[in-house]
């Protein structure tokens, strides 16, 4: 059940935008993900500054268009979300400059889009979203997506990929090396980097324990 108070102090904004926040049945990009990113973003914004209203709107709409990880248009997902978000905010009477700020933050948050964040709000959203891809939640999401894509957990004869090319579409734990362990080095804000370092350590400990068990 949706509870607007979870998005305090932007309860009214959440009431307007949560109905548009996510689509489809992807449990790694559902309302729970949006709420986690919101909490990350507000935590960073409290230390770094920036326009909290712009940031909150960008968080609430950053995944408003669903594109599967294995889709050929995956790299356009954030641009499509930004277009949809702009139309939603225009209908709500938002100022054009504010809409553009929200749209840029949404476009730039995506790893696959490879768009550099130019505003503080865009940098915070990118950090907040990537925090949800590492640590224990990130590990859980990684395995969830692997199951969704019908991937195997690991190569039983070379799980670490020591003698083969890593393939994260075929083996879930390959994704730790091909992407997840690279994320902590790319955080944009000081507060984000500090949070990322702790989560990256947890993620590496998780994989070490997993490899020990297999």
Cis peptide before 69 (omega within 30 of 0): no
Q: Are residues 122 and 174 in the same domain?
A: no
Q: Which two tokens stand for residue 194?
A: 């500090």
- Domain end among 101, 126, 151: 126
- Domain end among 79, 102, 126: 126
Q: Residue 210's domain is classified under what CATH number?
A: 1.10.3210.50
- Domain end among 126, 148, 174: 126
Domain enclosing residue 165, as ranges:
133-214
Q: Are residues 103 and 137 in the same domain?
A: no
Per DSSP, the residues of 12-61 read HHHHHHGGGS--SS-TTSSHHHHHHHHHHHHHHHHHH---HHHHHHHHHH
Output the tens digit of pLDDT for each of the chain's 214 residues. Answer: 578 899 999 999 999 999 999 877 888 889 999 999 999 999 999 999 999 999 999 999 999 887 766 666 666 888 899 999 999 999 999 999 999 999 999 999 987 777 899 999 999 999 999 999 999 999 999 999 999 999 999 999 999 999 999 999 999 999 999 999 999 999 999 999 999 999 999 999 999 999 999 9
- Is the CB of residue 129 less than 8 Å from the CB of residue 109? yes
Q: Which two tokens stand for residue 97?
A: 């400059």
Q: Are residues 15 and 112 in the same domain?
A: yes
Q: Are residues 118 and 138 in the same domain?
A: no
Judged on CB neighbours under 10 Å (0-12, 13-18, 19+), 132 is buried
Q: Are residues 166 and 91 in the same domain?
A: no
pLDDT of 73 reads: 61
Per DSSP, the residues of 78-90 read HHHHHHHHHHHHH
Domains identified in the chain, total number? 2
């Amino acid at each position: 059940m949706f509870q607007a108070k979870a998005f305090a102090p932007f309860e009214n904004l959440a009431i307007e935008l949560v109905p548009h926040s996510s689509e489809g049945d992807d449990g790694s990009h559902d309302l729970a993900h949006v709420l986690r990113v919101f909490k990350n973003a507000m935590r960073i914004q409290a230390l770094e500054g920036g326009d909290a209203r712009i940031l909150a709107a960008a968080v609430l709409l950053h995944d408003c268009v669903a594109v599967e990880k294995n889709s050929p248009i995956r790299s356009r997902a954030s641009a499509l979300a930004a277009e949809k978000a702009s139309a939603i905010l225009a209908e709500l009477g938002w100022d054009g400059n504010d809409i553009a700020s929200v749209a840029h933050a949404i476009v730039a948050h995506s790893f696959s889009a490879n768009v550099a964040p130019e505003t503080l709000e865009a940098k915070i959203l990118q950090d907040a979203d990537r925090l949800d891809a590492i640590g224990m939640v990130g590990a859980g999401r990684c395995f969830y997506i692997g199951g969704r894509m019908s991937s195997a957990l690991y190569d039983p004869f070379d799980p670490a990929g020591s003698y083969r090319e890593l393939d994260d579409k075929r083996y879930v734990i390959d994704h730790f090396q091909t992407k997840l362990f690279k994320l902590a080095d790319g955080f944009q804000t000081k507060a984000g980097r500090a949070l990322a370092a702790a989560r990256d350590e947890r993620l590496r400990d998780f994989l070490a324990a997993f490899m020990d068990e297999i």
